[in-house]
Amino acid sequence: MANYGHGMRAPEQIICVDCGGTCHLLPHPETEFQPGDPVAYRCSDCMDRWDIVMPDEDDGRGDMPPEGA
């Protein structure tokens, strides 16, 4: 009876991988996404754009790519 499978909200802010600044969600915060959908962010520090793919409901919690050593 889990409430999966429908829309999910993306976090409104993420940390910029590049500069450590704050990236803000470009779509409206109440926009719902499906797993696998790209979600666009804009960094307020370096103005880079980041596209995060919403995690699959199976893979669950890892929403950031693994960082190499």
How many other CB atoms are found less than 10 A from the CB of residue 25?
18
Of residues 43 and 52, the one with the C-beta less far from Zn ion: 43
Q: How far apart are CA 38 and CA 52, in angstroms?
A: 5
With binding defined as CB under 5 A, does residue 49 bind Zn ion? no
Interior angle at CA 32, CA 27 and CA 35, nearest 5: 110
With binding defined as CB under 5 A, does residue 43 bind Zn ion? yes
With binding defined as CB under 5 A, does residue 53 bind Zn ion? no
With binding defined as CB under 5 A, does residue 18 bind Zn ion? yes
Q: Which chain residues interact with Zn ion by CB under 5 A?
A: 16, 18-19, 21, 43, 45-46
